[in-house]
Chains A and B, each alone.
Chain A
Amino acid sequence: EVQLVESGGGLVQPGGSLRLSCAASGFTFSDHYMDWVRQAPGKGLEWVGRIRNKAKSHTTEYAASVKGRFSISRDDSKNSMYLQMNSLKIDDTAVYYCVRGFSGFDSWGQGTLVTVSS
């Protein structure tokens, strides 16, 4: 069974930084593209970014709203993905989901809440 577990969310001040982690199990993590998707309170879903697999050199893509501030990385030896978030803004407040990228997003974690507030 595919399992994705996010951690690292919390309260941070505007301009601050936070690093989210995603621990994967139940599948061959290194083979898969992985993504982050977020959902602001009471709002819809927004794709944040993607990291490809080793075969594609772990290249990344980002939404315009986070490009230059957020960075996605992975450690295939630990079956883990990370989201480094810098220069956080109030508008970044959301539940952040770790998702497996396959024909859309076929598996989702439970999400971790990031609140940006002073």
Chain B
Amino acid sequence: DIQMTQSPASLSASVGDRVTITCRASQGISGSLTWYQQKPETAPKSLIYDASSLQGGVPSRFSGSGSGTEFTLTISSLQPEDFATYYCQQYKSYPYTFGPGTKVDIK
């Protein structure tokens, strides 16, 4: 199975900050990676797919990059509605696996 790790596990940031979350795969997954945002008591929402493609309706302050084993999610200017937990997920091979999540909260 492909193991996914994320760093940091949590971070505190202020509105307007630039935030970067890293996701690493235990083996190469090309660009088969999606980023999700989840707020408490709600279903996850897809933000970025194919490592760097923005899902329709997602603000352009979100961006993704990377290929192979290392990926990043960047929020260019954190907004109040962005405080949430972020997960990466690989869909290169079964079983599909998720990272453990990165919780972004208010400083």
Residues of A within 8 A of B (CB): 35, 44-47, 50, 61, 63-64, 97, 103-111
A97 contacts which of B43, B46, B94, B100 (Cβ < 8 Å)? B43
Residues of chain A lying within 8 A (CB to CB) of residue B98: 44-47
Residues of chain B lying within 8 A (CB to CB) of residue A46: 98
Whole-angstrom distance between the alpha carbons of A61 and B97 in the complex?
13
8 A Cβ contacts from B15-69 to A: 33-34, 36, 42-46, 49-50, 53, 55
A47 contacts which of B45, B95, B101 (Cβ < 8 Å)? B95
Q: What 14 additional pairs, Cβ within 8 angstroms, besides A35-B96, A47-B98, A61-B95? A: A45-B36, A45-B87, A45-B89, A45-B98, A50-B96, A63-B95, A64-B95, A97-B43, A103-B34, A103-B53, A103-B91, A104-B91, A106-B55, A111-B43
Whole-angstrom distance between the alpha carbons of A107 and B55 in the complex?
10
Residues of chain A lying within 8 A (CB to CB) of residue B89: 45, 47, 104-105
Interface of A is mostly: strand
- Check B55 against A47 for contact (C-beta < 8 Å): no
Residues of chain B lying within 8 A (CB to CB) of residue A110: 42-43
Whole-angstrom distance between the alpha carbons of A113 and B85 in the complex?
20
For A111, give the chain B residue with the smallest CB separation: B43
Whole-angstrom distance between the alpha carbons of A97 and B36 in the complex?
14
- Check A103 against B101 for contact (C-beta < 8 Å): no
Residues of chain B lying within 8 A (CB to CB) of residue A104: 33-34, 36, 46, 49, 89, 91
B49 contacts which of A63, A106, A108, A111 (Cβ < 8 Å)? A106
- Check A108 against B44 for contact (C-beta < 8 Å): yes
Residues of chain A lying within 8 A (CB to CB) of residue B33: 104
Q: List 30 A-B contacts (CB under 8 A).
A: A35-B96, A44-B101, A45-B89, A46-B98, A47-B89, A47-B98, A50-B96, A61-B94, A64-B95, A97-B43, A103-B34, A103-B49, A103-B53, A103-B91, A104-B33, A104-B34, A104-B36, A104-B49, A104-B91, A105-B36, A105-B44, A105-B46, A108-B43, A108-B44, A108-B45, A108-B46, A109-B43, A110-B42, A110-B43, A111-B43
